[in-house]
Structure 1
Amino acid sequence: ATVRAVLAAEAPQVRERVRLLEAESTRTGAHFTPGSFDVVLCHGVLPHIEEPDAVLAGLARVLAPGGLLSLLVRNAD
């Protein structure tokens, strides 16, 4: 199922708290105010991106001072 389909099946109080955005990876974080997140998750994404430095810079930009950036990158088998 797609993310949109899963979200559509959720209760209204869940759906109203979720905002889905689609954008180029080099514009990561461009839609949010700097420092607007206490926690940023990037799990299983970086190996599939051509410019991971730009993505990491965008994630760092939206992370609040003292916030947590969680990266999950799978090691080669």
Structure 2
Amino acid sequence: MSFTDAVKEKLNAQIELWEKQLDEQKAKLKSELADAKNQEAESSVREEAKKSIENNIELLQHKIEEAKDRLTDAVDS
């Protein structure tokens, strides 16, 4: 094997290694993007749940105030 052939083989082997690393990095990026989307979705669900709970709290507070007013009116009557 000539020196030129040896250099070509070495360079081709290095290129193949880099291509493999590139594919691995692309797969890792794809996985991380999927994880980020899942976390974003989870965050969205948590935010919706938080809003729902806050809304329920406000409704309950309103019902409590109405009940207190009715009791006060009933006691005063």
What's the TM-score, normalizing by structure 2?
0.20
Q: Which has the higher strand share?
A: 1
Greater RCO (Cα-Cα under 8 Å, separation 6 or more): 1
Q: Which has the higher helix share?
A: 2
